[in-house]
Amino acid sequence: MLLLIGNDVVIPKKDLVAVFDYNIHLASPTRKFLDSMQSGVRLVNLSDPGKERSVVVTTEQVFISSISCQTLKKRVETAFFEWE
């Protein structure tokens, strides 16, 4: 099952590790994590400046999305139940 995370980007649901609110990036450990992903070219920003809403962590990359955590959660749950 695929999950649309923004800007026509889809990821396999099985590769999803975590989704968290972008505003939490102000916390020091999260900021360090995002900085390390950016320096390793594993961070992909899918949102326009100022419209960041969530961070999607997969097994391969980290995405900054303009879609809220709540909406992504609903999409994951809906996709899960439709598949079964």
pLDDT in tens, 13-54: 999 999 999 988 677 888 888 888 988 789 999 999 999 999
Average pLDDT along the chain: 88
For the chain, give every domain's residue range: 2-83
Cα–Cα distance, 36 to 42 (Å, whole number)? 9
Cα–Cα distance, 35 to 20 (Å, whole number)? 16
Cα–Cα distance, 21 to 67 (Å, whole number)? 10
Per DSSP bridges, beta strands 43-45 and 62-65 are parallel
Q: In sequence order, what are the residues at sequence separation of 6 or more whose Cβ sits closer than 8 angstroms to the Cβ of residue 69?
A: 19, 20, 21, 53, 54
Q: What is the CA radius of gyration of the chain?
A: 13
Using the predicted structure, report yes or no on whether residue 8 has a pLDDT greater than 60. Answer: yes
Cα–Cα distance, 8 to 10 (Å, whole number)? 6
